[in-house]
Amino acid sequence: MRRIVATAAQLPWLVLAGCAGNGQGLDTNGNPISGEPGPLLPELQSIQEQVFTPICTACHSGAAAPLGFKLDANSSYAMLVNAPSVEVPALLRVSPGNPDQSYIIQKLEGHAAVGGQMPLGGPPLPQATIDVIRQWIADGALPTVAASNATSATSLQAIAPIADQRLSEPPREILIAADGELDVSLLDSGVVTLMRSGGDGSFNDGNEVAIEPLEITVRSASPTVLAIRVPAAQWTADRYELRFAGHGPLFVANRAGVAIDGAGTGKPGTDFVLNFSLEPSR
């Protein structure tokens, strides 16, 4: 595998302090202990720490992120890899193995069909930095870390919308990420449900309405990233509850058959529940 790095001199937003020749400022391995990052590598963690977090999250984070596109450390992999661009849906934001057809590269290099060059309103990234991102994509756009041990319980995280978010318009999709590999063959057996409250905000009164059909797309296998879409006509102002079953006759499990840790307690066998609201239009 060809390995590309961008030196600190090629990253204008980083100012690196020199190390004294007497070894001061170095750890026992001879590495700086100042907390400054090393060379930019074609790995998601390095790109996250040196590009996405310090530069891109100035705009692409939180509820106000443009087009809902977030690049914080918890969201970037799920938001990028195999995810269709909103501006040009025929292109993926990151197409593993194909940087030229990855929309993020087109935006960074300034030749995308829609909109301006990113970072918008700021200086373009050095080509050396973009080349490192290109190499990460060419190498398969791998996640930061390997999926969790198959014998432990897999937990889930809501990427968009987030828990208890109040939306002003229907979500284009619901994006859920796991920290391991799920057995996706189970997902069409009723273990994933989306309900609206029936207007009272409660899910215990018997007047709830099931939202069907759910279109579940596997964006990434390991770790598993799921995009859930529903017909636009199904959305109405109300409170919603997405549930992944973690126990019962049928439940969501990882490839080893271990039920999900939906509650985030470190133990298998609990449901994952995401609540969010769609506000009345104004």
Q: What is the 3 state secondary structure string of the chain?
A: CCCCCECHHHCCCCCCCCCCCCCCCECCCCCECCCCCCCECCCHHHHHHHHHCCCHHHCCCCCCCHHHCCCCCCCHHHHHECCECCCCCCCECECCCCHHHEHHHHHHHCCCCCCCCCCCCCCCCCHHHHHHHHHHHHCCCCCCCCCCCCCCCCCEEEEECCCCCEECCCCCCEEEEECCCECHHHCCCCCEEEEECCCCCCCCCCCCEECCCCEEEEEECCCCEEEEECCHHHCCCEEEEEEECCCCCCCCEECCCCECECCCCCCCCECEEEEEEECCCC
Domain that holds residue 102: 1-145
Q: What average pLDDT does this structure show over 143-155?
A: 74
Domain for residue 133, yes or no? Answer: yes
Q: Other CB atoms closer than 10 Å to residue 76's CB: what's the count?
A: 25
Which amino acid would we find at residue 3? R
Q: Which two tokens stand for residue 162?
A: 């987030």
More confident residue, 63 or 270: 270
Q: What average pLDDT does this structure show over 122-134?
A: 96
Are 92 and 174 part of one and the same domain?
A: no
Strand pairing class (215-220; 225-229): antiparallel
Q: What average pLDDT does this structure show over 65-80?
A: 96
Which of 98, 114, 145 lies at the terminal end of a domain, its last residue?
A: 145
Q: What average pLDDT does this structure show over 65-73?
A: 94
Are 186 and 267 part of one and the same domain?
A: yes
Q: How far apart are CA 88 and CA 248, in angstroms?
A: 41
Are 140 and 1 part of one and the same domain?
A: yes
Q: Edge to edge, what strands does the sheet with 192-196 contain?
A: 166-167, 272-278, 238-244, 192-196, 209-210
Are 167 and 36 part of one and the same domain?
A: no
Q: How far apart are CA 110 and CA 107, in angstroms?
A: 5
Q: What average pLDDT does this structure show over 175-186?
A: 95
Are 123 and 237 part of one and the same domain?
A: no
- Give yes or no for residue 146 having a pLDDT over 70: no
Q: Which two tokens stand for residue 264?
A: 């985030």
Are 60 and 141 part of one and the same domain?
A: yes
Domain for residue 169, yes or no? Answer: yes
Are 109 and 245 part of one and the same domain?
A: no
Q: Which of 103-117, 140-154, 259-273 has the lowest mean pLDDT?
A: 140-154
Q: Look up the pTM and report it.
A: 0.85
What CATH number is associated with residue 161?
A: 2.60.40.1220
Which of 145, 169, 184 lies at the terminal end of a domain, its last residue?
A: 145
Instruction: Tell me which residue has tokens 């940087």.
Output: 99
Q: How far apart are CA 174 and CA 244, in angstroms?
A: 13
- Give yes or no for residue 279 having a pLDDT over 90: yes
Strand pairing class (209-210; 156-160): unpaired
Q: Of 75, 3, 9, nearest to 43 (Cα)?
A: 3
Domain for residue 150, yes or no? Answer: no
At 24, the pLDDT band (50, 70, 90 cuts) reads very low
Query: What is the number of domains present in the chain?
Result: 2
Percent of the chain with pLDDT over 70: 84
Domain for residue 134, yes or no? Answer: yes
Instruction: State the chain's mean pLDDT as an integer.
Output: 88
Q: How far is CA 235 from CA 168, 183, 201, 223, 279, in A?
A: 12, 28, 15, 29, 11
Are 233 and 112 part of one and the same domain?
A: no
Are 27 and 116 part of one and the same domain?
A: yes
Q: What average pLDDT does this structure show over 77-91?
A: 97
